[in-house]
């Protein structure tokens, strides 16, 4: 009789890197719980952890390559599937040119060391500039700001939440996201600890979120006006002589001239536009600057709006001006054990642009808002085939209906995915990787964003079956075949197959500065310490953290400050008149602890449970707006934008600001040809049938998902 065994691994479903204890019996998962001996997460897990079992057990999960035929999907052997994919992509490029193949990568790739480290061999073998990812519907502004200021796109300073006395959150809901560009398990406990030591947690958001519910203060702000708030906050710092950059002037002497750039934005001038009073704004600044230590953190809501890049830049300047960068309790740089940054691309800006709309590339990727038009617009460079890796852009990018139609027109699509989703149903071939519990794991990305330094390697819970492949094996097999078809050298692949991604991580660990009991870190050492190792709190790191050769922080005024002219025009010179249209509200998104974009909705335990007897996919509106528009709670309403219309139940609540409507992201499982049984029973509607691909943050090309004007009508 098979006995139960306990294994120690890491949950890969969000950024928190929670340690998990997985109990198995044979190849069955009996239970998943928090690993109490993990020094970073200390036993914490959120409800998503058990979804790892659901993904592993899911009867809809694909385990062998599938090819679409006139008779339906048929299974292929792996080598046959690899050959067919490589030959099909090669033929498209031979016929239309190298730019005719596009790629889209979803954010699960960031949780997969094999995809991160070996996926690029395949993208390079394709030789196409038509690369897209979830970055440009998410955190692109963070990367651009860090590239310009600190010299590397991923050198993003993180809130030192464990030591701060004033934690200001703008457009973030860490209780639902478990951080987000802030790897932080036990977030609720950590936020309460700020308050227990006499500090404050202050949330600024158009919605009174779960985080706002436990905060010291919550302030409503109109969507898309965060940049005005930040300009006024910096102005207030100067007017009240609260600036104290200290040592930061040695690295960024231009801070002294920042006053001139914000001179026209006193709190009294921006108050009406933001929905906050001048007194509120000034008091926020005074309290922030009076705190023993403080940090201002802006996340998704601050990023995916028309001035998202400028907002993230101003947040960084505000932290610097008040002396809260590279200072305990402020924004601090991490010291990861396996540091990929010195060996990875720093992030090129505007080296080339999209063919149709001339949107700039960043770090080799185009804004995904341009993807549909690059498929549908005829001419040289038109995308004729797509590779989709662990992504569902039909649901998760602007104007998803248009992108859905665009995918229908493609000559060939290959998906690296283990579900037939709204996007992968367009595939000609699907190559399914193993689940995260069947491959080894090291968080090569999220240790770089963690609120405390630690290190941990997770061996597979289950050895993958001989008839399965990991992501890196899929990407490397395709890369080798593409290079061979193009006549490129393939000698390097023998060494890569032998080294595996684990070998790359081992090299990074061994070459790092950390020691454990006098020995360098290594994969073998970590295998014998399955709970991981605590490496201590974040440390001051300037000037070593700066990647610019002169070891100075480049404030790049010439790059960022001209965008203030666009702010001036939008709000004070030619303000938009959308409010004059009937029944107009400003659209924002929202998150829920049990959802993860679009791909946990096939787990019954993740979608069960309702809110006021409704599904989680509702449109939240304020009671004043509901009364004004003649809408009752739970009533179906129509929500319309320039690009589309959806029908969704109204959820009337005073936890949202008047004039705002909130619809969650990742729903809309109602398209023919999917194989997602549970998700289809809880279909909901896609908010990205409303978001507009033609409206982007002009400085970065990032999608505008918040502050979208929509009209609302009783159904």
Number of domains within the chain: 4
| Mean pLDDT within 620-649 | 97
Q: Mention every residue, 6+ apart, whose C-beta is less than 8 A from residue 618.
A: 611, 648, 649, 650, 651, 663, 664
Per-residue pLDDT, 714: 94
Per-residue pLDDT, 350: 87
Q: Is residue 153 part of a domain?
A: no
Query: 173 and 262, same structural domain?
Result: yes
Contact 668, 685 (CB under 8 A): yes
Rg (CA), the chain: 25
Contact 651, 618 (CB under 8 A): yes
Query: 478 and 496, same structural domain?
Result: yes
Give 350-359 contacts, CB < 8 A, sequence gap 24+. 352/129, 355/99, 355/379, 355/380, 355/381, 355/382, 359/696, 359/701
17, 39, 57 - which closes a domain: 57
Query: 183 and 37, same structural domain?
Result: no
Q: Is residue 192 part of a domain?
A: yes
| Mean pLDDT within 628-646 | 97
560, 593, 619 - which closes a domain: 560
Q: Is residue 228 part of a domain?
A: yes
E-strand ranges in 52-92 read 66-69, 72-75
User: Rounded distance, CA 712 to CA 709, Å?
Assistant: 10
Start-to-end Cα distance in the chain = 59
Split at pLDDT 50, 70, 90, the class of 401 is very high
Per-residue pLDDT, 263: 97
Per-residue pLDDT, 576: 61
Question: Percent helix, strand, coil in the chain (nearest 5)?
Answer: 35, 20, 45
Tokens of 521: 């870190």
Q: Is residue 421 part of a domain?
A: yes
Model confidence pTM above 0.95: yes
Task: Please say if the pLDDT value at position 582 is more than 90.
Answer: no
| Cβ-based burial of 279 (10 A; exposed 0-12, middle 13-18, buried ≥19) | exposed
Split at pLDDT 50, 70, 90, the class of 614 is low
E-strand ranges in 35-125 read 66-69, 72-75, 101-105
Per-residue pLDDT, 274: 98
Task: Please say if the pLDDT value at position 678 is more than 90.
Answer: yes
Using the structure block, give the residue that is written with the tokens 């509901």.
Answer: 626
User: Rounded distance, CA 7 to CA 22, Å?
Assistant: 5
Query: 686 and 604, same structural domain?
Result: yes
Q: What percent of the chain has pLDDT over 90?
A: 94
User: Rounded distance, CA 118 to CA 133, Å?
Assistant: 16
Query: Residues 476-532: pLDDT tens digits?
Result: 999 999 999 999 999 999 999 999 999 999 999 999 999 999 999 999 999 999 999
Contact 180, 300 (CB under 8 A): yes
Please give the distance of CA 373 from its chain centroid, rounded to a whole number. 23
Do the bridges between strand 453-455 and strand 166-170 make them parallel or antiparallel, or are there none, so unpaired?
A: unpaired
Residues shown for the chain:
715
Task: Please say if the pLDDT value at position 52 is more than 90.
Answer: yes
User: Rounded distance, CA 439 to CA 448, Å?
Assistant: 21
Half-sphere exposure of 267 (CA within 13 A, CB side): 18
**Which of helix, strand or coil describes residue 108?**
helix
Per-residue pLDDT, 454: 98
Using the structure block, give the residue that is written with the tokens 């302030």.
Answer: 219
Number of other CB atoms surrounding residue 691 within 10 Å: 29
Query: Residues 277-295: pLDDT tens digits?
Result: 999 999 999 999 999 999 9
- Give CA separation, 66 vs 78, 252, 414, 475, 669, in Å: 10, 55, 10, 16, 21
Query: 291 and 210, same structural domain?
Result: yes
User: Rounded distance, CA 368 to CA 137, Å?
Assistant: 7
Per-residue pLDDT, 348: 94
Using the structure block, give the residue that is written with the tokens 């590397």.
Answer: 152
Query: 266 and 236, same structural domain?
Result: yes
Query: 378 and 288, same structural domain?
Result: no
Tokens of 377: 């617009």
Task: Please say if the pLDDT value at position 699 is more than 90.
Answer: yes
Q: Is residue 527 part of a domain?
A: no
Contact 668, 654 (CB under 8 A): no
Query: Residues 348-370: pLDDT tens digits?
Result: 998 999 999 999 999 999 999 99
115, containing H or E segment: helix 113-126
Q: What percent of the chain has pLDDT over 70?
A: 98
Split at pLDDT 50, 70, 90, the class of 612 is low
Per-residue pLDDT, 598: 79
The dihedrals phi and psi of 193, each to the nearest 5 degrees, come to -65, -35
User: Rounded distance, CA 371 to CA 101, Å?
Assistant: 12
Task: Please say if the pLDDT value at position 597 is more than 80.
Answer: no
Residue 473 sits in a domain of what CATH number? 3.40.50.740
Query: 581 and 507, same structural domain?
Result: no
Query: 464 and 368, same structural domain?
Result: yes
Per-residue pLDDT, 613: 54
User: Rounded distance, CA 453 to CA 656, Å?
Assistant: 36
Q: Mention every residue, 6+ apart, whose C-beta is less than 8 A from residue 347.
A: 143, 144, 147, 152, 153, 154, 362, 363
Please give the distance of CA 638 from its chain centroid, rounded to a whole number. 29
| Mean pLDDT within 9-14 | 95
Residue 586 sits in a domain of what CATH number? 2.40.40.20
| Mean pLDDT within 244-269 | 97
Query: Residues 96-108: pLDDT tens digits?
Result: 999 999 999 999 9
Query: Residues 320-352: pLDDT tens digits?
Result: 999 999 999 999 999 999 999 999 999 999 899
Using the structure block, give the residue that is written with the tokens 């300047």.
Answer: 317
| Mean pLDDT within 658-666 | 96
| Mean pLDDT within 69-87 | 97
Lowest mean pLDDT among 291-300, 355-364, 589-598: 589-598
Q: Is residue 531 part of a domain?
A: no
Query: 682 and 631, same structural domain?
Result: yes
Per-residue pLDDT, 577: 57
Query: 705 and 687, same structural domain?
Result: yes
Split at pLDDT 50, 70, 90, the class of 2 is confident
Split at pLDDT 50, 70, 90, the class of 304 is very high
User: Rounded distance, CA 236 to CA 243, Å?
Assistant: 9
Q: Is residue 620 part of a domain?
A: yes
Q: What are the residues facing 166 on neighbouring strands?
A: 200
Residue 214 sits in a domain of what CATH number? 3.40.228.10
Sign of CA dihedral 377, 382, 385, 389: negative
Query: 479 and 367, same structural domain?
Result: yes
**Range of the structural domain that residue 388 is part of:** 66-135+347-519
Query: Residues 534-581: pLDDT tens digits?
Result: 999 999 999 999 999 999 999 999 999 999 999 999 999 876 654 557
Contact 505, 113 (CB under 8 A): yes
Contact 322, 237 (CB under 8 A): yes
Using the structure block, give the residue that is written with the tokens 């610097």.
Answer: 320
**Which of helix, strand or coil describes residue 649?**
strand
Q: Is residue 567 part of a domain?
A: no
Lowest mean pLDDT among 191-195, 373-377, 594-598, 709-713: 594-598
């Amino acid at each position: 009789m098979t006995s139960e065994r306990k294994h120690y691994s890491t949950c890969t479903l969000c950024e928190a890197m929670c340690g998990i204890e997985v109990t198995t019996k044979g190849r069955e998962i009996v239970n998943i719980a928090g690993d109490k001996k993990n020094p970073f997460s200390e036993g914490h897990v959120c409800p998503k952890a058990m979804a790892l079992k659901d993904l592993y057990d899911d009867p809809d999960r694909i385990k062998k390559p599938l090819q679409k035929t006139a008779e339906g999907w048929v299974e292929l052997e792996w080598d046959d599937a690899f050959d067919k994919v490589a030959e099909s992509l090669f033929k498209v490029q031979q016929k239309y040119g190298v730019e005719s193949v596009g790629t889209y990568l979803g954010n699960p790739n960031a949780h997969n060391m094999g995809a991160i480290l070996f996926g690029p061999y395949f993208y390079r073998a394709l030789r196409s500039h038509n690369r897209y990812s979830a970055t440009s519907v998410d955190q692109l502004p963070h990367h651009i700001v860090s590239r310009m200021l600190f010299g590397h796109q991923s050198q993003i300073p993180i809130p030192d939440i464990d030591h701060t006395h004033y934690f200001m959150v703008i457009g973030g809901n860490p209780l639902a996201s478990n951080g987000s560009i802030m790897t932080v398990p036990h977030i609720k406990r950590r936020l309460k600890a700020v308050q227990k030591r006499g500090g404050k947690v202050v949330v600024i958001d158009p919605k009174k979120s779960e985080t706002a519910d436990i905060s010291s203060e919550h302030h409503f702000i109109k969507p898309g006006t965060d940049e005005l708030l930040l300009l006024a906050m910096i102005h207030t710092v100067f007017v009240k002589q609260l600036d104290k950059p200290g040592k930061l002037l040695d690295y960024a002497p231009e801070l002294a001239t920042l006053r001139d750039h914000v001179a026209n934005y006193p709190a009294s001038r921006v108050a009406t536009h933001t929905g906050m009073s001048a007194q509120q704004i000034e008091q926020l600044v005074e309290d922030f600057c009076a705190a023993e230590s403080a940090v201002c953190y802006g996340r998704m809501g601050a990023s995916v709006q028309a001035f998202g890049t400028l907002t993230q830049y101003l947040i960084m300047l505000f932290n610097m001006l008040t002396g809260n960068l590279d200072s305990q309790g402020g924004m601090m740089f991490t010291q990861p054990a396996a540091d990929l940054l010195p060996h990875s691309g720093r992030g090129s800006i505007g080296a080339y642009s999209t063919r149709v709309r001339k949107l700039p590339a960043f770090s080799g990727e185009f804004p995904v808002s341009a993807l549909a038009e690059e498929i549908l617009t005829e001419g040289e460079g038109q995308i004729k085939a797509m590779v989709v890796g662990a992504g569902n852009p039909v649901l998760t990018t602007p104007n998803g209906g248009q992108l859905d139609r665009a995918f229908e027109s493609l000559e060939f699509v290959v998906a690296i995915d283990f579900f037939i989703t709204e996007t992968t149903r367009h595939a000609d071939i699907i190559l399914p990787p193993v689940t995260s519990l069947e491959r080894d794991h090291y968080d090569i990305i999220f240790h770089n964003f963690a609120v405390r330094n630690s290190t941990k390697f997770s061996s597979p819970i289950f050895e993958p079956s001989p008839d399965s492949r990991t992501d890196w094996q899929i990407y490397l097999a395709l890369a080798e075949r593409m290079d061979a078809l193009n006549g490129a050298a393939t000698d390097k692949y023998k060494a890569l197959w032998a080294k595996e991604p684990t070998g790359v991580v081992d090299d990074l660990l061994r070459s790092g500065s950390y020691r454990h009991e006098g020995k360098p870190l290594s994969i073998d050492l970590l295998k014998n310490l399955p709970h991981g190792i605590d490496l201590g709190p974040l440390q001051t790191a300037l000037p070593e953290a700066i990647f610019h050769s002169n070891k100075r922080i480049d404030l790049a005024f010439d790059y960022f400050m001209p965008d203030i002219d666009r702010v001036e025009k939008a709000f004070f010179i030619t303000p938009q008149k959308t409010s004059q249209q009937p029944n107009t509200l400003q659209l924002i998104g929202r998150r829920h602890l049990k959802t993860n974009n679009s791909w946990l909705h096939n787990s019954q335990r993740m979608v069960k449970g309702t809110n006021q007897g409704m599904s989680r996919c509702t449109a939240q509106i304020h009671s004043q707006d509901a009364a004004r528009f003649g809408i009752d709670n739970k009533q179906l309403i129509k929500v319309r934008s320039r690009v589309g219309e959806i029908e969704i139940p109204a959820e009337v609540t005073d936890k949202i600001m008047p004039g705002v409507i909130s619809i969650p992201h990742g729903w809309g499982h109602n398209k023919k040809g999917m194989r997602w049984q549970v998700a289809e029973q809880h279909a909901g509607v896609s908010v990205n049938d409303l978001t507009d691909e033609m409206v982007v943050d002009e400085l970065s090309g990032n999608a505008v998902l918040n502050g979208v004007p929509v009209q609302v009508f009783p159904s």
